[in-house]
Structure 1
Amino acid sequence: MTGVSGSDDPTQLRVNELVAALRSEVDKVEQLGEALSSRDMIGQAKGMLMERFTIDADAAFGILHEASNRSNVKLHDVAHQLVRDRTIDGYSNPS
């Protein structure tokens, strides 16, 4: 019986392709999970701003967007700070 080189074995090549494809799909699922979590956090933050300032969803998103741009912090991180701390650094009532 002769040894089979791992790089020349068609079965091993196919297994490697499948493993790479599986890793890619796992990465996509993880990214989707992060996106959903981020979306939920932004939604919570928008709701807090809507209640606090009696504004609509677009205005609440505008506040988050402005705070994100001004502080050079990702929008979902600004939203997380608001939900966690009940405040956005350096932001007061928009009225």
Structure 2
Amino acid sequence: MLESALFLLLEGRHISEETISYSFKNEEQVYVKFWSQLQMVLKRMLATTLSANTSKSPLTSQQSLSGRSGDVGKVRELYKMSLKSTEFGQLHAMHRLWTS
């Protein structure tokens, strides 16, 4: 579920900067809400991944994420990038990292 949410948020990279600046010229809260949501998803993924890696018991279905999101370093780097990001154009780099 978290992985699906991340994928949908990263799809925002397809929106052109021209469209964004035209449509949301005075809508700063759109940017704030988007980045806040992305950070929340990544933070939950990181917490889940870390707890799954440190847990000695078998993974529950909620904790079991796909192999891609199991990479703690990748999720941690995406979270750091989301904290520094301020433009939708930066989603391209985040998507490249996620799919690498």
Alignment TM-score, normalising by the size of structure 1: 0.35
Higher relative contact order (CA 8 A, sep 6+): 2
